[in-house]
Chain A
Amino acid sequence: MINESDGDDWLIMEEKLHEQPFFVLHRGRRRSELKEEDEFEAFEMIWSKIERSIKDVLKEMNGDLFDKVNGWIRNQHSHNQLRTAFVFTKNMENVDDIDTFANLASHLNSQGCHVATLFSSDISANNGVAACLKRLFNQFLMLDFDAAHISILASWYTEQGAYNKPVVVIIDNLERCYAPVLSHFIIMLSECAVKIPLILIVGVATTLDAPHRILSSTVLHSLLPAEFYLTFPAARMDAILEAVLVKPCAFFSIGHKVASFLRNYFVDHDGTLTSFVRVLKIAVIQHITMEPLGVVLRAMVDVEQTKDIGANNIDLLETRLKEALKSCPNGNDMTNSTANEWVNRLSELHRLQKSWSSVAMCLYEAGKFSGVSLLDLYSELLDPKTYNSEPNETIMPFKSSPVERSSHQDSIIWKSIRKIRDLQSTELRQLLEKWEQYSKGFTEMHNEVIELKSVVVNEGNKRPRREAQELSIHAVRATINAEKERTKVNEKAAMLLTRMLRKCVRPIECIPGNETVCFQKVDKLQSVKYFEFLLRRPCKGVLSALLGDPRRRIQLDLLEFHTFLKCNCCCKNGRMLSLSVYDTSVMYTLAQEHGDLINLHECFQSFKAAISQPPTKPKKRLKQLSPKGKTDTNGPAKADALIQARFCRAVIELQLVGLLRMPSKRRPDFVQRIAFGL
């Protein structure tokens, strides 16, 4: 471990170890009780709850499809063609679908199929069809064959004896497979399908015609295809968001900025649930490690889990919260009244969160009619600006007149509410049914919803039946009246929602005590360099933000080295060269002035000039900071050697980070500059 007292030789590493390709640093010992143990347990509890919710949501979403596939496997038979299910994933990123296919495999397995999964990486030009067979046998027969023939599969199946068990082969991504190998493999399978009930399931990421583009007509002729469709990633995203963040599943929530990140990242760039989930996990980790009362979340989750037992929830919550608060750092110093105050705050937060989520979901249901996504709505609902801007009027976009607030025309909240006024009565009834569901446990709204619903139902019954309609003046009048009534009910529904919004929807950041459950420190995310880029430039290079963006960061490090080193010797503006400036930074700055080729001779001269220029301020610095050669009595030769060595070192370092390329044989006097722009 680095200690301040280690002296100056801490940089010297053990001589031999750095020349060995690998070595054992130390062997693990029994874990001692870590002080972070509580925190980690809290994290595990919260995260496993979130993870489980996500899994459940996906399972439910995919369950339908899985059942359909299973039904199809059971119900149809073919004796001369290979039955093939093309599963359209509607998602170019197959990261998300790795799990989907794994779940499909285990589902089919549980339904009594033999299942083997091949990844597109198995079906490559390098590996050839032999590798596909090897993987297949490895999974079915649990044996490692190096040279094998597909006929082994048939004989293995016969040996199994269970002739009603279908044999399913899953390939996760058609487009990523090497087509000739895949075709060969499919032909082999189709030959085998004559003997055994073999079924192929292939994931397709792009368009409906992908199989026709990739597979030859001969191969297609040997298939008996069926098509299945997964839900869109955006729909899955909304479902996950609902389960995890809108209905607070582990009481963990995020602030507006973090939500905007997630939204922008998902919509504009990555588009995978996998990375969304990853970011969420990072947020939970950081929340728990940073927020002193983060462990309190655990108590809340604990209580939530025991609610079915019938205990008095609020009392239990209060007791557990008190215990949790005591176990926090400095918790023992907490006076009883402070603890009580906290408990009150948290219970209130808990209550507000519940009503918030009811109203948010009602709003989302209304927004669905105009194609609003929960992701957009969620980040808008969390925005404290809309709340803070008009303290008296609460949230402005909820005003009924669109003209008054033209700047809010784009507001998703407003759009959703406006849509309620235009709904047909059947749609309105559907909406109210959903509202009834979501407002359960939130009595105030629930009662009004039921009342409204009964009005709608009555109206529906009163309405003249279309088939009996006559073109009389009475009938027309009746229709007009019904229309008026409908608009009235619609208006009432819109007003109800607006009222509830004003009353209950306070962005979590505006509720006292929120920091315990709400992760909003984008700054912290920034400091792990996760999202900084995203914040500053919402639409460009976000991919590199999630990927850490070393290309930009490393160049910025070189330009702004002084902000990290905080040394007194270098000038404040890193772009200005001064005597003692960091050599590699000097070199990088010089390289910026060149095109893609840098003449070494010229570059060396500039480097030399830059590092040997007389200091602008006290002369002392020269002695203190310039390497010893300068003041050495050995004369200019040594000083030259030193400058040249420094130049060489700087070039090597830039080469190491990939900003310069070494001279080619053709142009021995030039190095090549690689990166242009940050």
Chain B
Amino acid sequence: MSQNESHAAQIEEEEFEFSRNYFLSKELGSSAKKSTRKLADLDLVDEQELREAAANLEPTHEKEVKALITSYKDSYAEWTFALRGGFGLLMYGFGSKKVLIEDFASSLTEYSVLVINGYLQSVNLKQVMITLAELLWDQLKLHKKTSMGTISKSHQPFNTQSMDDLLVFLDSPPVQDNDSVVCVVIHNIDGPALRDSETQEYLARIAACSHIRIVASIDHVNAPLLWDKKMVHTQFNWYWCHVPTFAPYKVEGMFHPLILAHGGSGQSVKTASIVLQSLTPNAQSVFKVLAEHQLAHPDEEGMPINALYTICRERFLVSSQATLNSHLTEFKDHELVKTRRDSDGQDCLFIPIMKDALEKIVQEIGQ
């Protein structure tokens, strides 16, 4: 078969596959909608037991996973080379890459290394940049001692500087060769804490700084959509490394609800009631007010804070807004209560627990 023919055949095949996938998604989708089997019909084990089992899941293929990760050691030299050559390393492939990347990063002894856990819910980028600036400052000082380079003795403390100033500092012309470099390891640069475009733009600007090198990982299949060409080619300057590890996503997945625990909707009844029982009776009653409101108004986004305050005051549960706030902080810390905006833009409190479970909890508090 000539090249053209095989090429045409390939295109045809791809088109067929595409249409097949399209109909699969549509037709099976509609038939699946007809399927009415409920999750609740399953004989599910007790939630506590499920959590325990999930926490103690034995990793499968442990030996092979370890061997696989160890096999990437052969690439360390090449990665270091690319990093020194001005590229940013982007690790992708199935499996947690946390151990691998930190192991690689610890081999970069001449760089200071800062690790960002992007899989967490929030990361304060300003704090990160301040720390980066401090690390770089220390390193420049170290080199100043050993070389004739000069850096100004006094400087404005980094925590009072703006992001732009910090970027200017990180991007200052190298004092001597490329000796003073801080490496930023970003686990899950596509994670919840870093996903928004503003953060990505800042990260790209950080990555483009002369004293910074980046080693990052992505897990989401659509992660590259976070970046435009300018970011990819000129700022991050990615050197893609395909490193599937098949290691379990232990820490990365810790904020994800278990799908078989209450339909996957967050807080478990048991943990909620355990927490509630440890609180003062007044705090419990405040929670009860909120819970009863939620059960009575299932369609509302939640209960406005001032409405809660009024009722609690009427029932002599709290004496001031401050007391109520301290209860609320306690609830929020244990993820018993969350806030969201209703359609009027007002902050509302709600309990992220399913109706049945909440009824059970209210009963338990009453006892």
Residues of A within 8 A of B (CB): 1-2, 4, 8, 10-11, 13, 17-32, 36, 39-40, 43, 47, 93-95, 98, 121, 272, 274-275, 278, 281-282, 285-286, 288-289, 528-530, 537-540, 544, 547-548, 550-551, 553-555, 557-558, 561, 564-567, 569, 580, 582-584, 594-602, 604, 625, 627-629, 637-638, 640-642, 644-649, 651-653, 655-659, 662-663, 668-671, 673-677
Which 3 pairs of residues, A with B, have the shortest CB-CB distance?
A: A595-B28, A548-B240, A595-B29
* Contact across chains for A648 and B50 when beta carbons are under 8 A apart: yes
Q: Give the distance in Å from the alpha carbon of A19 to the alpha carbon of B252 in the complex.
A: 10
* Contact across chains for A274 and B234 when beta carbons are under 8 A apart: yes
| Least Cβ–Cβ distance between B90 and chain A, in angstroms | 7
B335 interface residue (CB < 8 Å to A):
no
Q: Give the distance in Å from the alpha carbon of A278 to the alpha carbon of B237 in the complex.
A: 8
| Given A550-B224, A676-B22, A655 and B256 contact (CB-CB distance below 8 Å) | yes
Question: Which listed residue (B81, B146, B264) contacts A36, Cβ 8 A?
Answer: B81
* Contact across chains for B110 and A28 when beta carbons are under 8 A apart: yes
B341 interface residue (CB < 8 Å to A):
no
List chain B residues, Cβ under 8 A from A637.
Answer: 45, 49
* Contact across chains for B81 and A285 when beta carbons are under 8 A apart: yes
* Contact across chains for A565 and B62 when beta carbons are under 8 A apart: no
* Contact across chains for A641 and B45 when beta carbons are under 8 A apart: yes
Q: Give the distance in Å from the alpha carbon of A20 to the alpha carbon of B182 in the complex.
A: 19
| Least Cβ–Cβ distance between A612 and chain B, in angstroms | 14
- Segment among B101-109, B268-276, B308-316 that sits at the interface with chain A: B101-109
* Contact across chains for B92 and A595 when beta carbons are under 8 A apart: no
List chain B residues, Cβ under 8 A from A598.
Answer: 32
List chain A residues, Cβ under 8 A from B252.
Answer: 656
List chain A residues, Cβ under 8 A from B94.
Answer: 554, 557-558, 561, 584, 657
Scoring B residues 222 to 242 as 1 if CB is less than 8 Å from chain A, else 0, what string do you get? 111000011011100111111
Q: Give the distance in Å from the alpha carbon of A2 to the alpha carbon of B99 in the complex.
A: 9
Q: Give the distance in Å from the alpha carbon of A17 to the alpha carbon of B218 in the complex.
A: 19
B25 interface residue (CB < 8 Å to A):
yes
* Contact across chains for B45 and A95 when beta carbons are under 8 A apart: no
List chain A residues, Cβ under 8 A from B110.
Answer: 28-32
List chain A residues, Cβ under 8 A from B77.
Answer: 36, 289
B116 interface residue (CB < 8 Å to A):
yes
Q: Give the distance in Å from the alpha carbon of A673 to the alpha carbon of B24 in the complex.
A: 11
List chain A residues, Cβ under 8 A from B249.
Answer: 652-653, 656
Residues of B within 8 A of A (CB): 7, 10-11, 14, 17-18, 21-22, 24-33, 35, 37-39, 41-45, 49-50, 52-54, 57-62, 64-70, 73, 77-78, 80-82, 84-85, 87, 90, 92-95, 98-99, 102-103, 105-107, 109-117, 120, 122-124, 127-128, 131, 135, 138-139, 142, 146, 179-182, 185, 193, 201, 218-224, 229-230, 232-234, 237-242, 244, 246-249, 251-253, 256-261, 263-265
* Contact across chains for A27 and B222 when beta carbons are under 8 A apart: no
Question: Which listed residue (A36, A584, A601, A657) contacts B80, Cβ 8 A?
Answer: A36
| Given A22-B114, A640-B45, A285 and B64 contact (CB-CB distance below 8 Å) | no
* Contact across chains for B244 and A557 when beta carbons are under 8 A apart: yes
* Contact across chains for B32 and A644 when beta carbons are under 8 A apart: no
- The number of residue pairs between A and B whose CB atoms lie closer than 8 Å in the complex comes to 334
Question: Which listed residue (A566, A599, A651) contacts B37, Cβ 8 A?
Answer: A599
* Contact across chains for A662 and B264 when beta carbons are under 8 A apart: yes
List chain A residues, Cβ under 8 A from B53.
Answer: 629, 638, 641-642, 644-645
| Given A24-B135, A29-B110, A95-B233, A582 and B220 contact (CB-CB distance below 8 Å) | no
Question: Which listed residue (B114, B139, B181, B263) contacts A23, Cβ 8 A?
Answer: B114
Q: Kindly report which residue of chain B lies nearest to residue A284, judged by CB atoms.
A: B85
Q: Kindly report which residue of chain B lies nearest to residue A281, judged by CB atoms.
A: B85
* Contact across chains for B221 and A537 when beta carbons are under 8 A apart: no
Question: Which listed residue (A10, A595, A625) contacts B26, Cβ 8 A?
Answer: A595
Q: Give the distance in Å from the alpha carbon of A647 to the alpha carbon of B139 in the complex.
A: 48
| Given A24-B135, A648-B258, A670-B32, A601 and B37 contact (CB-CB distance below 8 Å) | yes
| Given A653-B253, A656-B220, A669-B39, A647 and B259 contact (CB-CB distance below 8 Å) | yes
Q: Give the distance in Å from the alpha carbon of A599 to the alpha carbon of B36 in the complex.
A: 8
| Least Cβ–Cβ distance between B27 and chain A, in angstroms | 7
* Contact across chains for A602 and B68 when beta carbons are under 8 A apart: no
* Contact across chains for A10 and B109 when beta carbons are under 8 A apart: no
Q: Kindly report which residue of chain A lies nearest to residue B232, judged by CB atoms.
A: A547
Question: Which listed residue (B39, B62, B81) contacts A668, Cβ 8 A?
Answer: B39
List chain A residues, Cβ under 8 A from B43.
Answer: 640
* Contact across chains for A652 and B253 when beta carbons are under 8 A apart: yes
Question: Which listed residue (B35, B54, B138) contacts A599, Cβ 8 A?
Answer: B35
List chain B residues, Cβ under 8 A from A274.
Answer: 229, 233-234
| Least Cβ–Cβ distance between B229 and chain A, in angstroms | 5
List chain A residues, Cβ under 8 A from B182.
Answer: 28
| Least Cβ–Cβ distance between A11 and chain B, in angstroms | 6
| Given A644-B50, A649-B57, A675-B221, A567 and B244 contact (CB-CB distance below 8 Å) | no
List chain A residues, Cβ under 8 A from B98.
Answer: 13, 18
Question: Which listed residue (B26, B60, B259) contacts A648, Cβ 8 A?
Answer: B259
Question: Which listed residue (B93, B113, B120) contacts A19, Cβ 8 A?
Answer: B120
List 12 A–B pairs whose Cβ atoms lie within 8 Å, in order of A's numbering. A22-B123, A24-B135, A28-B180, A30-B110, A278-B237, A282-B239, A547-B224, A550-B92, A554-B92, A637-B45, A649-B248, A652-B253
Best-surrounded residue of A289, A565, A566 (most CB of chain B within 10 A): A565
* Contact across chains for B221 and A24 when beta carbons are under 8 A apart: no
| Least Cβ–Cβ distance between B14 and chain A, in angstroms | 6
List chain B residues, Cβ under 8 A from A93.
Answer: 229
| Least Cβ–Cβ distance between B294 and chain A, in angstroms | 15
Best-surrounded residue of B38, B114, B264 (most CB of chain A within 10 A): B264
| Given A40-B84, A285-B78, A548 and B242 contact (CB-CB distance below 8 Å) | yes
Q: Give the distance in Å from the alpha carbon of A602 to the alpha carbon of B258 in the complex.
A: 17
List chain A residues, Cβ under 8 A from B219.
Answer: 554, 656-658
Best-surrounded residue of B29, B87, B218, B240 (most CB of chain A within 10 A): B240
| Given A599-B37, A628-B58, A651 and B259 contact (CB-CB distance below 8 Å) | yes
List chain B residues, Cβ under 8 A from A658.
Answer: 219-223
Q: Give the distance in Å from the alpha carbon of A558 to the alpha carbon of B313 in the complex.
A: 57
Q: Kindly report which residue of chain B lies nearest to residue A119, judged by CB atoms.
A: B230
* Contact across chains for A550 and B193 when beta carbons are under 8 A apart: no
| Given A547-B224, A561-B246, A28 and B112 contact (CB-CB distance below 8 Å) | yes
* Contact across chains for A26 and B264 when beta carbons are under 8 A apart: no
Question: Which listed residue (A10, A551, A582, A656) contacts B60, Cβ 8 A?
Answer: A582
| Given A2-B69, A653-B253, A595 and B31 contact (CB-CB distance below 8 Å) | yes
List chain B residues, Cβ under 8 A from A1.
Answer: 103, 106-107
List chain A residues, Cβ under 8 A from B222.
Answer: 551, 658
Q: Give the distance in Å from the alpha carbon of A98 to the alpha carbon of B228 in the complex.
A: 14
List chain A residues, Cβ under 8 A from B35.
Answer: 599, 602
| Given A1-B107, A550-B221, A644 and B115 contact (CB-CB distance below 8 Å) | no
Knowing that A121-B201, A604-B42, A627-B57 touch, tell me 10 more A-B residue pairs with CB under 8 angstroms: A21-B128, A28-B109, A28-B112, A554-B94, A566-B67, A582-B61, A595-B29, A641-B53, A648-B54, A652-B259
| Given A530-B240, A597-B33, A646-B57, A25 and B26 contact (CB-CB distance below 8 Å) | no
List chain A residues, Cβ under 8 A from B181.
Answer: 28
* Contact across chains for B85 and A47 when beta carbons are under 8 A apart: yes
| Least Cβ–Cβ distance between A536 and chain B, in angstroms | 9
* Contact across chains for A98 and B114 when beta carbons are under 8 A apart: no
* Contact across chains for B221 and A289 when beta carbons are under 8 A apart: no
List chain A residues, Cβ under 8 A from B138.
Answer: 27
| Least Cβ–Cβ distance between B177 and chain A, in angstroms | 9
List chain B residues, Cβ under 8 A from A653.
Answer: 248-249, 253
Question: Which listed residue (B10, B50, B230, B264) contacts A98, Cβ 8 A?
Answer: B230
Q: Give the distance in Å from the alpha carbon of A625 to the alpha carbon of B42 in the complex.
A: 26
| Least Cβ–Cβ distance between B290 and chain A, in angstroms | 20
List chain A residues, Cβ under 8 A from B120.
Answer: 19, 21
Q: Give the distance in Å from the alpha carbon of A25 to the alpha carbon of B240 in the complex.
A: 23
List chain B residues, Cβ under 8 A from A629.
Answer: 53
Q: Kindly report which residue of chain B lies nearest to residue A588, judged by CB atoms.
A: B94
